[in-house]
Structure 1
Amino acid sequence: MWIERWEPEDERFWKEEGGERVARRNLVFSVLSEHIGFSVWSLWSVMVLFMGPEYGIDAAGKFFLVSMATLVGAVVRVPYTFAVARFGGRAWTVIAASLLLLPTIAAFAVMEPGTSYGTFMACALLTGIGGGNFASSMTNINSFFPLRKKGWALGLNAGGGNIGVPVVQLVGLAVIGAGGGPRVVLGIYIPLILLSAVCAYRHMDSISSVRNDTGAVRAAARDPHTWIMSLLYVGTFGSFIGYGFAFGLVLQTQFGRTPLEAAQLTFVGPLLGSLVRPVGGRLADRFGGARITLWNFLGMGAATGVVVVASVRESLALFVGAFVALFVLTGLGNGSTYKMIPGIFQAKAEAGGLVGEAAAVRGRRLSGAAMGLIGAVGGLGGLGINLALRQSFRTAGTGTGAYVAFLAFYGVCAAVTWAVYRRRTAERTAPAAGPERNPQLGYAEV
């Protein structure tokens, strides 16, 4: 269904004319579709656990498989973002959900010893399209909710999607524990993909005022805040997806865990990180995304320091505990950074003299365009993590060098967050204020 009039910032429209009810319904089925997309995207983090010596692929080769899935998932986020405006949120959700059948059926057909590495690589690349669902889903839901609700709505939408990572790992654990093969996992997801496509077709809507706007894309690409937030999102989401894909392999390679033992631990961190993402958005709604993001990066740095110590001491219990804490912090940071994006662009619109609905419309227009770019760059962070771990294990036989690099990067992210969005002088980066404007307008509360 196409919706011709959509004014979520109008309290009467939102509460009395059914706007909130429509937005929540679309959110529910957006979460379902994105959830399945994340599960498909992270399939190879599970498939590699089944790939014993009979497959003839070493640890570096397995890291490369999951890295390529991450790469494609990041790249396709850009076109997926703009597909919402081209086809409408409802139609594109149906299309995107249906496309997930391609990698799932392909993997089902070839998943057995003796298959060439190139064939496995092609299947891993195909699963990357599941990562695109996040971008289109977030762009679509961003249009449905008012600014005061975006932290919660975007956090819930993303968290429900992110939880697809631990869910597919739990499915893999159950199948491994029952003595089943990888095709059982794939066979479970094929009907779920069809269900999500049917639900999107029957229960979702498209907003007619959302149209492709190349001007908004160009404006978002030129705005330095798009690239600053991309860096911060590399630190939060890039870490979440990178660790989610790699953690099981790290446990097998560095600590000698069996596939079943690794699977029993792999899902815990991604599960908790997914569940707390809405909490990060809610905290950002209340206290400001910049504040939560800054403290979050400081916490991620501390947790990574413990990971380094655990790696050097070869303490599995300390390593797993620190990594679970790190996963939780990535989830909180995912929610707070995405809350910042619409707040930044609305603050800029208000600094330019716009007020009320006009400022909100411009903020939605630019933030929707920026989300695709930010989400794509953030996804590339997962690629970086997997490649760094691959190189560290190849050269030193341990992941310690990679963990030290991650620790340094979180320090950079914390410094950037403070310098751009929390430092008092950053509050005066807006254009020169006129008599009607607030000269202290800044980003500390976005």
Structure 2
Amino acid sequence: MTTELTTTDAVTPTRPVHRPGRWFDHWDPEDPTFWHGGGRAIARRNLTVSIGAEFLGFCVWALWSVVVPLLPAAGFDLTLDQQFWLIALPSLVGATVRIPYTFAVPLFGGRNWTVVSALLLLIPSTALAWVVTQPSASFGLLLTCAALAGFGGGNFASSMTNISFFFPEAEKGKALGLNAAGGNLGTGVVQLVVPAVIAVGAGTHLERAGLMFIPLVLLAALAAWRGMDNLSGVRSDYGSFARAARNRHTWVISFLYIGTFGSFIGYSGAFPTLLKTQFPQAPTTLAFLGAVVGALSRPVGGLVADRLGGARVAIGSFAVLAAGAVGAIDGLRTHSFAVFFCSFLVLFLGAGIGNGATYRMIPAVFRAGTSPEQLPVARKTAAGCIGIAGAVGAYGGFLIPRGFAAAKASHGSLIPALGVFVAAYVLMAATTYAVYARKGSPLAAESI
């Protein structure tokens, strides 16, 4: 989905002017006078609050990745397949709600929807806090509570859509990169902090994993209410979304994004359970490092792609991902925790770099070969591609845990799943090369 910003012809103020409800009827960040006359400060304030709210969204989205490995010790009788279902389902729901979450920004206003989407996080937090105290709860009830965590995955789409309208084109890439990295970092932070919180005092208090986020969510909603703004000129651009859906490059890039962002969110969710089940004596609290590496390397991937081209860096990231998966296979075969753990850090590094590179490719692909007159349409189509790819890519967070579960059920080992992932990364690298980098291909000369 994509949206666009329209302005009124009646009055064009040179400074931002609110009307009741913290609405701006005119917002023109491309006007230097408007931008330096207060627009920049307002945009940065909205970005700061948005990062905080999106950060909490990712935290709640990843909560079950922390809780699931601890459920058996809390009295829950779960098979490994059931554990992977509880890990995978939040990603499935989060990916599915990303498109409607994007529609919500022009419908309700960015500030208003940030408040609502933050408050919605109270539902999965409260549900988790309750259900983990019920060891006799049915697996279906556990699945339902886990599915609610998917609300956190939708926050990314609405947050990125909203922030994109506050900044001029020259600063949009940096702003969106900070917004995305800040959100992604929530996955690693929750895997670091939550185990410590639930272990304070005697026993293990799993309900704290949900309860600790209730006041944080309320604070995020209050911060959005007091510190963010709505832009009344934003409207849904269904035509651009439709054009993107009809363009084959949208689906090629979506396929690649499954391999980059899908790997990040999928491995982030599965990593704590993999360590707990494959290396029971190892310090599984180190699992948070994987998501942190993936989040921090995302902006690095974008910066390197700006210099070398997104396609080249994407191919390199898939090579890194394949190497990491091969290393993880070796770690399982030799039962070496060090090899397995370090190989997964390589996987997260490749996923993070690939995330930044793939997002950099999108505007370049749709800008290639267009005349100056066609550029506005190309930009809107690229925005539609970003919305579609962001949703499709998140389904990787479902496919990877379910791949591990299927391999364990059919072969008694995780190795076949990792072998399939290696093949997928090789195919994705080959696709990137053939479509965007191969000498003689239509887009090879465009430095995609």
SS in 1 for 2:373: coil
Q: Which residue identity does 2:177 align to in structure 1? A: G
Match of 2:370? Answer: 351
Amino acid corresponding to residue 399 of structure 1 in structure 2: L
Q: Equivalent of 1:32, from 52, 60, 74?
A: 52
2: CA distance between counterparts of 1:134 and 1:293?
22
CA distance in 1, matches of 2:85, 2:381: 35
Give the 5 Å matches for 1:38-437: 38-52=58-72, 54-112=75-133, 113-178=135-200, 179-257=203-281, 261-262=283-284, 264-345=285-366, 347-348=367-368, 351-354=370-373, 359=375, 361-427=376-442
Q: 1:372-426, CA deviations, whole angstroms, 9 ceiling, x for partnerless residues?
A: 2111111111111011000111222221111111111111111111122222433
**How far 1:370 sits from its partner (Å)?**
2.3
Amino acid in structure 2 at the alignment position of 1:134? F
Q: CA deviation at 1:36?
A: 0.5
1:426 and 1:218 map into 2 onto residues whose CA distance is: 26
CA separation in 2, counterparts of 1:415 and 1:99?
41
Q: What does residue 19 of structure 2 align with?
A: none
Question: Relative to 1, partners in 2 of residues 1:200 and 1:352: Cα closer, same or farther, differing over 3 Å?
Answer: same
Do the aligned partners of 1:311 and 1:319 also contact (CA within 8 Å) in 2? yes
Structure 1 residue 209: Cα displacement: 2.9
Distance 1:315 1:241, change over 3 A: same
Unaligned runs of 5+ in 1: 430-439
CA shift in 2, pair 1:363/1:26, >3 Å:
farther
Tell me: CA distance 1:285–1:214, structure 2 relative to 1, closer, same or farther (3 Å): same
| Count of residues paired in the alignment | 423
The answer (yes or no) to whether the contact 2:62–2:190 under 8 Å persists in 1 is: yes
Q: Quick one: structure 1 residues 114 and 69, their matched pair in 2 at CA, closer, same or farther if it must change by over 3 Å?
A: same
Instruction: Confirm or deny: 8 A CA contact 2:90 2:149 kept in the other structure.
Output: yes
- CA distance in 1 between partners of 2:43 and 2:393 (Å): 26
Q: Report the secondary structure of 1:274's partner residue.
A: helix
Q: Give the Cα separation in 2 of the matches to 1:209 and 1:365.
A: 15
CA deviations on 1:147-167 (whole Å, 9 max, x unpaired) are 443443222111110111111
TM-aligned CA deviation for residue 199 of structure 1: 1.0
2:207 aligned partner, one-letter code = R
Identity %: 45
1:47 CA drift (Å): 1.4
Residue 176 of structure 1: how far off its partner (Å): 4.5
Letter paired with 2:243: A
The change in CA–CA distance for 1:119 and 1:58 in structure 2 (over 3 A counts) is: same
For 1:82, give the aligned amino acid.
F
| Kept after mapping to 2: 8 A contact 1:147/1:342 | no
Give the Cα separation in 1 of the matches to 2:400 and 2:371: 39
Deviations 1:272-315 (A, max 9, x none): 21122222222233433223222211221222221122222211
Deviation at 1:12, TM superposition (A): 5.3
Whole-angstrom CA distance in 2 between matches of 1:386 and 1:319: 17
Structure 2 counterpart of 1:417, one-letter code = T
In 2, distance between residues paired with 1:127 and 1:68?
A: 9
Q: How far apart are the structure 2 equivalents of 1:153 and 1:42?
A: 24
In 2, distance between residues paired with 1:352 and 1:87?
35
Tell me: CA distance 1:417–1:6, structure 2 relative to 1, closer, same or farther (3 Å): farther
Q: CA RMSD in A?
A: 2.0
1:182-226 per-residue CA deviation (whole Å, 9 max, x = no partner) reads: 111211101111111111122122333320122122111111121
Note if contact 1:154-1:335 (Cα within 8 Å) is conserved in structure 2.
no
- Alignment check: 8 A CA contact 1:101 1:190 kept: yes
Shift, 1:338, TM fit: 1.7
| 8 Å CA contact 2:370, 2:378 repeated in 1 | no
CA distance in 2: counterparts of 1:30 and 1:367, whole angstroms: 22
CA–CA distance in structure 1, aligned partners of residues 302 and 152 of structure 2? 23
